[in-house]
Amino acid sequence: MYIEFPTLAQHASPFKPPSENRFLRFERSVTIGDKNLSEDRKVLLRLQVSKLGLKGAELRKFLLLVGDRYNPEIDELKMSENRESSSLMNKKVLGDTLIALITEAKKTDDQFADVPLDFSSRGYKPAPVFPTSWLPKLKEKREVKEKPRAKKEHKPKKKNKSKRRTPKNISSQ
C-alpha cells in the first residue's frame, strides 16, 4: 500500500467547485457491511427553485405542484425517492419527476389562479404587520407598569377522605 502513494500523487488534481449551471444536488447514504439495506437505496434531491428559470405564473404553478417539499425561507426544493431497488434507479425517477413537474408548470392550459399559495403547513408564517396606531402610548405603558398586582389567596389543598381498603377494613365488612 505504501508503495502506491507516490503514484497516486501524480493523478491528484485541485478541487474545482461546481459551476453555476450545475445546481442539482443528489444525496444518498451508504452503509458499509450490509449490502441490502433499504436506507442505502434512498436518494434525496435538493435544488434552489430560483435557478430553474421559471417566472411569474410558471413559478407559481410549480410551487403549487411541489407543495410542502418547497421551503420558502431558503428557496429550496427537497424531494426523496426510495421505491426502486437501487439508488441509481431512484435518482433517475427523481430526475424524471422534476422534468415532469417543470413541463407541467410551463403548460398554459390551467394556471390555478384561484388556488392560493399557502406555506403555513411548513411552519412558515410571515410576521403580521400591525398599524402603529394600535401601539400603546407612553403614559399608558407607565400606568400598566405602576399598577400593583392583586395577590392571590393561598388555599390549602383538600385531603382525599376516601377510605382505603386495608385488611382491617375488608375484614370488618
Looking at per-residue pLDDT, the higher value among 85 and 146 belongs to: 85
Sign of CA dihedral 24, 117, 56, 111: positive
Closest by Cα among 76, 74, 79 to 99: 79
Q: How many residues does the chain have?
A: 173
Q: What is the distance between the alpha carbons of residues 95 and 87, in angstroms, rounded to a whole number?
A: 12
Q: What is the pTM of this model?
A: 0.61
User: What tens digit of pLDDT does each residue of 4-29 get?
Assistant: 777 787 888 888 887 878 889 999 88
Closest by Cα among 27, 80, 67, 70 to 50: 70
Instruction: Write the CA distances from 41 to 31, 57, 94, 147, integer angstroms.
Output: 10, 35, 13, 65
Joined together, the cell numbers standing for residue 56 give 411569474
**Residue 118: per-residue pLDDT:** 81
SS3 label, residue 126 = coil
User: What tens digit of pLDDT does each residue of 33-58 get?
Assistant: 776 677 788 999 999 999 999 999 99
